[in-house]
Amino acid sequence: MNPIITGLLLAGAVSLFVITMSGRVGVLLAMKKENRLDHIPYRVAQLVRFGLGQKRMVDPEEFTPGLFHIFIYAAFMVLAVRTIMMFVMGFSSTALDVLTDLSHPAWDAAPPLLLLYKLYLLAKDTVAALALAGVAYFVWTRWKVKPDRMSQSWEAYLILGFIAGLMITEFMFGGSHMVAAHAAAQQVPMGATQVPSTPSAMVWWEPVTSLMGLAMMPLGATTAHVLGVAGFFIHLTLILAFLNFLPLGKHFHIITGLPNVFFQRTHSTGKLPTPNLEKEEFGAATVKDLTWKNGLDLYSCTECGRCQTHCPTYITGKPLTHKGVNQDLKHWIWDNERWVEEGYGPHGAKEPLPEIIGSALKAETVWACTSCGWCEQACPVFIENVPRLIDMRRYQVQVKAEFPPEIQRVFEGMERQGNPWGIGQDRRDEWAEDLALPTWGDGGEYEYLFFVGCAGSYDDKQKKVSRALVKIMREAGVSFATLSKQEMCNGDSARRMGNEYLYQTLAKTNVESWNAMGVKAVITQCPHCFNTIKNEYPEFGGEYRVINHTQLINELLKDKRIKLSSVMNAGTKLTYHDPCYLGRHNGVYDAPREVLKSIPGLEVVEMQRSQREGFCCGAGGGRMWMEEHIGTRINHNRMNEVALTLKHAEDPSTPFPDAADKKKPGMVGDYKEQGGKGIVAVACPFCSTMLNDAKNDTGREQIQIKDITELVADSMETSNKGGTVAPSPVVSAKPE
């Protein structure tokens, strides 16, 4: 080929790329430092599984587009080697001859290497053809299907054109050499107008390229050669143009996606980073208060919109989509790189960076999140959206004192009385006045601390759940005690509403007290308590075996420590609502379902949005204590789905919206009819409150909301063991 043209193309494109990337990298270096080089074996394993292996791309709800994306991804990985070869060919005529002519004498000395090269060419042809199929699929999807989660943009079509061009020019380049080889074999002069097409031109190691060669043969060897040279330089030009376009748009993830998967957090999504308050880390005011990993997250957002599919704020019309947040922050940073890096503002003078809220984002966007975790569960490149928003809330609360006014009383209640309602601490054990419960530290030996929680102690409905759980544990002979009046809030809501100081005060007080008492294992009936004590207390020295009540009950049933015999109405239809902080954040999906299926007479039916795709009740992230002023209520959307699920179970002719219809996600939440009788089982006091409110608001009195514990206690055979205590079961607290 032509070394001068190849060299000029390469030098020019690489220079432009370095200039662009210097700004992108400079921003990351200017942001807060964070250690992401721990747990290297785990990170490598995740990179292989989710980065190179693309496991999340083929999650059930997006299997087909994910599969076609993998075709394109595989083509890029395999053709990267071919592109390097083509650059080498551009500089070396010898390399061109050897790599395009497999009958070249250079191959005679290395038959195994020749076979390996042929196998590579076969893989190259195969994935390039599949990539073209992927391009066709995505063009059709964007042009005709127009899924709700996809933003329509010229950039997407341009990139698809780049990809198709790379594949086609590769076939053209290879096909031209097949024409030349065939012409030489037929001893036809280069200037001939036509070369006979024969089946002998087909080779097994390049089937698609062979077809391209056959198609080019009627054009003649000279024309085919010209097209091959054009294909070669167009291919190199496209790949270099593509390289320089990547840092300018959403396809930057092609460069940053794999590193972002490698640098993902190594713990549960339910655990938030803990700032050092002594070093005055009071949250994110400006983009420089975000970490370099937060910046890499922004660069890696593919804008695929998977985060929207089951996002409660997006579905119900709130001013928050995580895709939108990523775009707004990313483009603000890109527009102000020098400001972030060097402190020079738009007018060329040194000036402080503006606060994120007010410049890149609106306050209502930051406060809308329920921290349900769907966005992070769905993201193929493991973008961490929730911690970033919580860090912005921390600054708003702890520095600016600007937050939704209704949560002021919640903070005051936690500070003064150890609970968000602000009810007197001396009333914390009133729910159990007639139960004669043992208190930890009364001189007895107990295996489990039963952490009742604020709702279990003060909320009238949840008090019944607390009593039901005591009934079950006593029947099974579980060795437990409570903290009685000494119990205090675990601090979950304070942390997620941005009051990190209050959270850390409560957490440190609890851990210090429990450790002094010798607590080793904790039973909770609230997923928020479960998550906080299990995942966040260890940072303060609170290393406990933490067990959710559904896990405990499931183990008691398996060990035959309790027996279930009847349900009030045989054949009752029941569906189960997954709490986000039990299911998505901690992987507990099976235990609640196994318990429900053990209750005689119940017919358990699943909602369309269940398990990993479960839909939030709207109470997480501190939203339990805030009003919804924008859009429709999240709990109403979920209760509509409950009603539709029970109605369909009762009358199968009642249609379900197609779950595979991507044009409008969440349609099951639009059901407005009054049909459907039965039970929705819950395993969280927040979910119970939200669904009960939605039931009353929507007039669906025929639907009962019951905690799993209540259903088990009502069905359980009792033997009046009283206070008899048998050896406690060994209960697993690991995610399922």
104-126 pLDDT, tens per residue?
A: 899 998 999 999 999 999 999 99
The pLDDT, as a whole number, for residue 630 is 93
Quick one: which of 374, 361, 369 has its CA closest to 497?
369
Q: Which band of pLDDT confidence, cut at 50, 70 and 90, is reported for residue 182?
A: confident
| 199 pLDDT higher than 50 | no
| 733 pLDDT higher than 90 | no
Rounded to the nearest integer, the mean pLDDT of the chain is 92
| 727 pLDDT higher than 50 | no
Q: Which band of pLDDT confidence, cut at 50, 70 and 90, is reported for residue 657?
A: confident
Query: DSSP assignment of 467-524, as one string?
Result: HHHHHHHHHHT--EEB-GGG-----HHHHHTT-HHHHHHHHHHHHHHHHHHT--EEEE
Phi-psi region of 220 (alpha: psi -120 to 50; beta: other; left: phi over 0): left
Three-state DSSP state, 628: coil
Can you give the residue ranges of every domain in the chain? 35-184+200-260, 268-403, 407-715
Share of the chain above pLDDT 70, in %: 94
Mean per-residue pLDDT for 283-301?
Answer: 97
Mean per-residue pLDDT for 379-387?
Answer: 96
- Separation between Cα atoms, residue 230 and residue 143, nearest integer Å: 30
Give the CA count within 13 Å in the CB-facing half-sphere of 389: 29
The 10 Å Cβ neighbour count of residue 61 is 17
Question: What CA dihedral angle connects 36, 40, 42 and 43, to 10 degrees?
Answer: 50
Q: Yes or no: say if 1 and 94 are a contact pair by the CB < 8 Å rule.
A: no
The pLDDT, as a whole number, for residue 520 is 96
| 486 pLDDT higher than 90 | yes
For the chain, count helices (H), then strands (E).
28, 8
Question: What secondary structure letter does DSSP report for 145?
Answer: I
Q: Which band of pLDDT confidence, cut at 50, 70 and 90, is reported for residue 197?
A: very low
| 221 pLDDT higher than 70 | yes
The pLDDT, as a whole number, for residue 346 is 87
Three-state DSSP state, 317: coil
Share of the chain above pLDDT 90, in %: 84
The pLDDT, as a whole number, for residue 229 is 94
Mean per-residue pLDDT for 198-209?
Answer: 75
- Separation between Cα atoms, residue 126 and residue 5, nearest integer Å: 30
Fold of the CATH domain 268-403: Fumarate Reductase Iron-sulfur Protein; Chain B, domain 2 (1.10.1060)
Give the phi and the psi of residue 159 in degrees, each rounded to 5: -65, -40
Angle at 352 between CA 348 and CA 357, to 5 degrees: 115
Q: Which band of pLDDT confidence, cut at 50, 70 and 90, is reported for residue 662?
A: low
The pLDDT, as a whole number, for residue 216 is 92
The pLDDT, as a whole number, for residue 271 is 96
| 165 pLDDT higher than 60 | yes
- Separation between Cα atoms, residue 549 and residue 499, nearest integer Å: 28
Mean per-residue pLDDT for 83-98?
Answer: 93
| 736 pLDDT higher than 70 | no
Those residues with Cβ within 8 angstroms of residue 685's Cβ, 6 or more apart along the chain or in another chain: 453, 455, 456, 459, 461, 462, 465, 525, 526
The pLDDT, as a whole number, for residue 365 is 96
The pLDDT, as a whole number, for residue 176 is 92
Question: What secondary structure letter does DSSP report for 543?
Answer: -
The 10 Å Cβ neighbour count of residue 466 is 26
